[in-house]
Amino acid sequence: DAAPNFEGLLPPNLESVIAGWIHDDMPSFDVGGLVVGSEKKEAKLLMKSSGVFAGKPFFTKVFEMLDCKVEWEEIAVEGNNIEISEKVVFATVTGPVNKILRGERTALNTLSRCSGVATLSREAADTAKNLGWNGWVAGTRKTTPGFRIVEKYGLLVGGAATHRLDLSQMVMLKDNHIWASGSIEKAVKLARKAAGFSQKIEVECQSLEEALEAAKAGADIVMLDNFTPENLRSDAKKFKEQYPHVLVEASGGITTETMPGFLGPDIDVVSQGKLTQGYPCVDFSLKIVH
């Protein structure tokens, strides 16, 4: 069940991102922190609902930056799909009690949301795999501003692909780019001059004709957007007959429930915005030992 250890992917600016989260929650006085004082205490992290566990490095880093220590239990393995019938202790946080409480909500928010993304991603990836499809289930760039790294990390832990991480990672020419530049061919050729050989170019297409135009101009991936399942499979087959090495992505309002209709031998990627835009959170709490 366990996913690879993706913690090594996290960038060196993670501390500055987390510092922003902490500052957001405490821009001024912390009266509650004054009330409890700075005596050293322990707090137990409890997992209270079932799901795929993810977000461990973010939880740890929040408390490390607040001079606290986190010790994890053996059960706390990222990627494990854990069935909860009663509260389970996942970690112990030790440090000044005011700092434990200062980091509590921020740390829990990252953990519950990252686990939520991972859980939904696991369901989607397993659904596709169980149907015998060997393509990629992917997220999208529909992430929460300032929280993208957590949601993209959750996709990976859950077994989905991140899709492009940001505007700089891969070129995606959507309908607005095409309309603003004048044509698919013009947009792709200019993008290739700037991107060179090191970046893939994907073009959002509303028809088979547009997909063929994009591939002819040099696109590496075509997104067949908002197609019905029947039209998608038919047009993808026709497209692959001419451009077998160009990837085909299906997108547009697809959910895990409707996804089986969009899978097929000529579809390489199915993307779901819902994986990072409509996920339910996994329930965790942190309780001071008393």
Catalytic machinery residues: 142
Q: What is the DSSP letter of 33?
A: H
Q: Is 167 exposed, middle or buried (0-12, 13-18, 19+ CB in 10 A)?
A: exposed
Any idea of the CA torsion for 61, 59, 66, 45, to the nearest 10 degrees? -140
Q: Are 22 and 16 in contact (CB under 8 A)?
A: no
HSE-CB of 11 using CA atoms within 13 angstroms: 11
Strand 269-271 to 136-138 pairing = parallel
Instruction: Single out the residue of 147, 140, 80 nearest to residue 113, CA to CA.
Output: 147
Angstrom distance (rounded) from CA 7 to CA 30: 31
Instruction: Single out the residue of 268, 11, 279, 23 nearest to residue 155, CA to CA.
Output: 279
Dihedral (CA of 258, 51, 282, 59) sign? negative
Angstrom distance (rounded) from CA 227 to CA 247: 16
Angle at 124 between CA 135 and CA 117, to 5 degrees: 120
Q: From edge to edge, which strands make up the β-sheet containing 201-205?
A: 136-138, 269-271, 247-251, 221-225, 201-205, 171-173
